[in-house]
Amino acid sequence: MAKELTSRKENYSQWYNELVLKADLAENSDVRGCMIIKPYGYAIWEKMQAALDKMFKDTGHQNAYFPLLIPKSFLSKEADHVDGFAKECAVVTHYRLKNDPDGKGVIVDPEAKLEEELIIRPTSETIIWNTYKNWIQSYRDLPILCNQWANVMRWEMRTRLFLRTAEFLWQEGHTAHATEQEALEETKQMIDIYADFAEKWIGVPVLKGHKSESERFAGAKDTYCIEALMQDGKALQAGTSHFLGQNFAKAFDVKFTNKEGKEDYVWATSWGVSTRLMGALVMAHSDDKGLVLPPKLAPIHVVIVPIYRKEEELAKISEKIDPIIAELKKRGVSVKFDDNDQRKPGWKFAEYELKGVPLRMAIGKRDLENGTIELARRDTLTKETVQMDGIEGVVVDLLDQIQDNIYQKALDFRSENTTIVDDYDQFKELLESKGGFFLAHWDGTAETEEKIKQETKATIRCIPFDAIEEDGGVCIYSGKPSKRRVVFAKAY
């Protein structure tokens, strides 16, 4: 079969690349590092957007839209930000083309050079805080709770569909607050929302914690993150929420008069998740037959494949199945009835397995006689013959079960692949042989962090919020004292 996948065991990386292409999620474009998100992939992203957008709005956020282009000089206003961020980006230098006087085609018009170059936003803190300056005078103008759904661009040299692309889609929340406490609470609230979304919608358990200082967002005082574990034992950072302190307010001179009538700088947060979540979704659950989609994000919940030879048989199947489809749709189940006569049932079975459709029904002549349907689950690859009567309730229940099962499976996998380790040699060995998350003591210095990274390629994924204080812990690398374990892993 043309669409057969490389197995995960054989080559996990190749399996991922092939799966994204063959399941019609996305493909590379002729523009270096920029992807095309195909309709099937985009339909999943839209479901992610809808769920997240509701969570944002339920917590009082509003959407807005800020410019794509940022004046170059804005980037250097926040010192850490420009150091950590702004270098690899797309630079607009001209605003006009003209016909090539020497022949065909168009050339850049040298007379249309911009006085100041513009950068395609790699993230929008600078342009947004430059705007907030005009929106905020008094504590009465606060908080500002804005979110933006947008495209951003970072000129990555090595790209991979969804995981690392030059252009990607994301949302970026940017909030402004009167007090440090309120900004900290917002930062925490948003990482909790991301964790909820990851677990309840994508079905991926995540660790929540702080980034170490060296892994922090450029310009942030603290970065909270959620970290997920992929099937190859590598970690994937799935979302971040930054406490920016007063850094951007100071850089863009955003002051307000507080309740006591005194002037102060505004407190800030920013937080984002991106189409990278699509990569997490694919890598966490899918198998050698293709995608495994959690029902809550699946564009199609149930595919129905009629098995027939003659047109009359199809007509009889349709007659029986149409009211079932209508009832399923009424219950919010998205159904595809695939009666395409150009393809055989076997081909369709494989195709919908590849596409990760959670449930498949097959119905043939004998089923009609017996009043049954064959029902197959994508997540367990099991099938059973069930009564047609009351099938709608069975389907709704099964979709819930599949959502739960996918999460539980990922959670079990993570438990099996989380190791508490106290010995550096053992850590190095297990990192290579098994992978996964490692809970280890660390002395808290950037030097040790960097050395471990150089020697093992493992990084500190997070300092978990729920880390337990331990007396007498010693750093796995330096032997110096450590109060709590942090999470190491190789990461995407």
- Site of interaction with its own copies (CB under 8 A): 27, 29-31, 34-39, 42-43, 46, 62-73, 75-76, 82, 86-98, 104-106, 108, 117-120, 127, 130-131, 134, 140, 146, 150-151, 153, 155, 167, 169, 342
- For its own copies, the closer CB: 10 or 27: 27
- For its own copies, the closer CB: 89 or 439: 89
Q: How far is the CB of 432 from its own copies (least distance, A)?
A: 35
C-alpha–C-alpha distance, residues 236 and 217, integer Å: 16
Rounded to 5 degrees, φ, ψ at 214 are -75, -20
DSSP secondary structure of 152-198: EE---SS-BTTTB-SEEEEEEEEEEESSHHHHHHHHHHHHHHHHHHI
C-alpha–C-alpha distance, residues 405 and 232, integer Å: 20
- For its own copies, the closer CB: 43 or 467: 43
- Nearest residue to 45 via CA among 145, 143, 164, 168: 168
For residue 62, the cross-strand partners are 146
CB 46 within 8 A of CB 314: no
Q: How far is the CB of 170 from its own copies (least distance, A)?
A: 12
Alpha helices in 85-143 (DSSP H): 125-135
Q: How far is the CB of 232 from its own copies (least distance, A)?
A: 27
- For its own copies, the closer CB: 164 or 200: 164
Q: How far is the CB of 34 from its own copies (least distance, A)?
A: 4
The token pair that represents 342 in the structure block: 């150009």
Collect all residues with Cβ–Cβ distance below 8 Å to 59 and sequence separation of at least 6: 145, 189, 193
- For its own copies, the closer CB: 145 or 368: 145
Q: How far is the CB of 40 from its own copies (least distance, A)?
A: 8
Q: How far is the CB of 477 from its own copies (least distance, A)?
A: 32
- For its own copies, the closer CB: 97 or 420: 97
- Nearest residue to 248 via CA among 78, 76, 87: 78
The token pair that represents 451 in the structure block: 């050395």
- For its own copies, the closer CB: 35 or 230: 35
Q: How far is the CB of 69 from its own copies (least distance, A)?
A: 5
